[in-house]
Each structure stands twice: as structure tokens, then as C-alpha cells.
Amino acid sequence: MTGEATETDGGARERLEAVLNGLDAAVYAADARDGEILFANRAFQALHGADTVGWVLRDLVVPLPERGDYRVDPRGLGVADVPCELFDGELPQPRTGRWYHVREQAMRWVDGRVVRLGIATDITDRKETAEIARRQEERISRTARLITMGEMASMLAHEINQPLSAIANYCNGCAARMQAGAEARDLLPAMRKAAAQAERAGRIIRRIREFVKKREPRRGAVSVAAILDDALAFVDIDASRRGIRLVVDVAPGLPAVRADRIMIEQVVLNLVRNGFDAMRDAAGDERVLTVRARARGGHLVEIAVIDRGHGIDEEDRERLFQPFFTTREDGMGMGLSICRSIIEFHDGRLAVEPNPEGGTIFTFTLPVEEVARE
């Protein structure tokens, strides 16, 4: 019986090793207590150019978690404690600069010992592709912002011209009064008003510069009301010119969200301007665009942009977020695709549905700051 059992155990080990040797990923089994390698498949050995059985894991190329990264300390595990998951994550190899997805599980090996069975898959190419895609998306996003600002240039010029004209008028008035012999204290109210208008013009310039400049995304705690105030300040004049009434409905006491303020402003601005375009042919009393913000489920904030325009048919709604798809004759077809990418980057969701009163409702969610940090 002993001989049969030994033969059976040997056959099981050979079959297991044959399966593991057929994998492209590097697979190893190491003693849970001291890290001595008991088995290494061909892919693992190819990384080191040698038979690594008998070596210690810490001396090798494949990256390993730190002790504190393990869910349990593998050195203290007994046969009764396995199988159990030890680690699952992505790790860089400092010496080579390559990235690996490493997964380790504690299990009983064919000889009865408790081992760490690890699978390390090289994901460097995937990480580099993802980084290239992220940078490309950032460039496209910035280009979209520049295009948006170009389209709004005349309105912004008018907005800036108002405080500049006021400053000129106040200064000319002060000069005239000085020539007439007015005392300095009589000029103070006009000078203070001129200073206030200069600050207003400065805020407009800073808002535009911040919106279009190139920078890395910076997520932090942001007030939803502040995001909406800054974004809608860009379109106030356009709304008046088109005869559209802007309604802002922000629930009181909304928690801060974790977001990049400028990126979310870009989303709001894009959705609002799309709503304006959708109401181009709407009747006067229907030319209302509502921007609404509500808490949702305690861990999300939902922002909705609601128009009373011509609406979007079902077939177009299914393709709406695809790159280069547009329902506008002069559209690029990238705005909504970029918006969805931005919201997904923030761990949120962008959706569209018909407005029961006519028109379209775009909604997106953002995680609450406290929840996002957990």
C-alpha cells in the first residue's frame, strides 16, 4: 500500500508540474517559513536563466510583497490554516523597472509542507499602454477645453469688457473731479468701485487661465456648489443672449466630493452648452435649463443637467458616448466621450435619459470625500 501511495503522489506531482510549466506566467512554490523555493516553472526559471529550486525568493527578480502587505503572516500558518489568500496586487521590480501582477496563496504542497504558491504575470506592456492612453486622453481633454474657450471667446470678451469699461469711467470721473478741485476724500468711493471692478476682471482672467492651462489632475475635497458656481459663470452671458433661464438647485448641506475641480467644471460646462444647443428651437417658456445636485445613498453626490430641448432618440442615445459620434453638424463628437472618461476617472458614472417633460437629463455621480478615502 505504501508503494502504491508513493506512486500515486508522484504521478499527481508530475501532472501538477506539467500544468504549471505550460503557463506563460512565472509560478513558484516556496516554503512558507523560510522562503526556500521548492518548485519553479519554466517561465520563472527563464527570468533568471537558471534552475532556481533551492534558492531563496528574496534574492530573485520577481517582486514580492512586504511582510506588512500580507493578509496573514505565512510563517505562522499550519496545515489546518490552508488554503488561504495571502496577497493579490501589482508590484514594480526596482532593479528592472518592470511591473508584475503578483498573487500568492498559502496551500499544502505535495510533500505535506505549507507553501506560498505564487503567480507573477508581467504587466509592463499593459501598464505602459494604459499610461500612454491616459496622457493622450489628457491632451484630448485639454484640446476640448481650448475649443470650448475659443467658441466662447466673444462672450468672455464682453464679460471682461464690462469691468474694464467701468474702471475707465470711474478713473475718468475721478480725473475730471480732481481738475475741478475736488478733495481726495471725495474721490474715495469712485476709486474703491474701480478697484472692485479690477478685482472682478482679475477673477475672470484667473478662471479662464486655470480652465485652459495644462496640468496633472489633482483630486481633493471640493464643494459641489463651488464647482457649479465657477462653471456656470462662464455661460451666464450666453444664457442671457439665447433667452435661456438658468436654474441652479443645490440641496443644502451636501458633503464635499473628491474630485479635480477643473475637470468636473469641464464636464458641467460641456453638458450645459449641449443643453443650450438642444433648446435652440424651443418655445420661450420652455427655454429653461436646470442644474441640480443631490446626495445619493450617503456615499455619492449626483449632479443632473436637465434641458427642455428636442430630446435624443433611443438609437442615438446608445451611441452618444462613442468617440466621434455627434448629432450636431459642427460637432467633433468628442465632448461626451471625454466627459464620460473624466467621470469614470473619478469613480463615478455618467448617464443619459429622456426628460418626462420633454428634453434630456444627463446625470453623473461623484464619490463623497470621506468615502473615497476609505
State pTM to two decimals. 0.50
pLDDT band at 252 (very low <50, low <70, confident <90, very high): very high
Q: In what order do the strands lie in the sheet with 26-31?
A: 37-40, 26-31, 114-122, 99-108, 84-92
Most confident option among 68-72, 107-111, 242-246 = 242-246
Tell me how far apart the alpha carbons of residues 272 and 229 are, in angstroms, rounded to a whole number.
13
What mean pLDDT do residues 264-285 have? 86
Tell me how far apart the alpha carbons of residues 332 and 150 are, in angstroms, rounded to a whole number.
14
Query: Are the C-beta atoms of 230 and 268 separated by less than 8 Å?
Result: no
Tell me how far apart the alpha carbons of residues 80 and 156 are, in angstroms, rounded to a whole number.
71
Percentage of the chain modeled with pLDDT above 70: 80
Secondary element (H or E) of residue 197: helix 184-212
Give the pLDDT of residue 336. Answer: 78
In three-state secondary structure terms, 56 is: strand
155 DSSP assignment: H
∠ at Cα 197 (236, 262), nearest 5°? Answer: 45
Span 2-122 CATH architecture: 2-Layer Sandwich (3.30)
Burial of residue 231, with CB atoms counted within 10 A of its CB: 0-12 exposed, 13-18 middle, 19 or more buried: buried
Residue 188 has pLDDT above 80, yes or no: yes
**Which residues are bridge partners to 350 per DSSP?**
364
Task: Give the type of residue at 123.
Answer: I
Put residue 35 in one of left, alpha, beta given phi > 0 → left and psi -120 to 50 → alpha: left
Q: Which of 369, 326, 346 is nearest to 266 (CA)?
A: 346
Can 2-122 and 218-374 be said to share one CATH topology? no
Tell me how far apart the alpha carbons of residues 176 and 179 are, in angstroms, rounded to a whole number.
5
Q: Which of 175, 176, 169 is nearest to 197 (CA)?
A: 169
Give the pLDDT of residue 212. Answer: 59
Most confident option among 2-16, 177-191, 294-308, 324-338 = 294-308
pLDDT digits (tens, 9 = 90+) for 144-168: 666 666 655 655 665 676 678 778 8
First and final C-alpha spacing in the chain: 56
Only one residue has cell 534574492, namely: 59
Tell me how far apart the alpha carbons of residues 64 and 128 are, in angstroms, rounded to a whole number.
21
In three-state secondary structure terms, 110 is: coil
pLDDT digits (tens, 9 = 90+) for 129-145: 888 877 777 776 666 66
Cα-Cα-Cα-Cα dihedral sign, residues 329, 332, 335, 340: positive
Mean of pLDDT over the chain? 80
Of 69-78, 157-166, 274-283, where does mean pLDDT reach its minimum?
157-166
Give the pLDDT of residue 165. Answer: 77
Cell of 322: 462613442
Cell of 81: 490554516
Choose the CATH number for 218-374 among 3.40.50.2300, 3.30.1490.480, 3.30.565.10, 3.30.1490.100: 3.30.565.10
E-only strand ranges, the chain: 26-31, 37-40, 84-92, 99-108, 114-122, 220-222, 245-250, 257-259, 288-296, 300-306, 350-354, 360-367
pLDDT band at 18 (very low <50, low <70, confident <90, very high): confident
Domain extents for the chain? 2-122, 145-216, 218-374
pLDDT digits (tens, 9 = 90+) for 33-69: 888 888 888 888 887 777 888 888 777 766 777 777 8
Task: Give the type of residue at 233.
Answer: A
Most confident option among 129-143, 219-233, 335-349 = 219-233
Tell me how far apart the alpha carbons of residues 279 and 356 are, in angstroms, rounded to a whole number.
15
What mean pLDDT do residues 217-232 have? 88
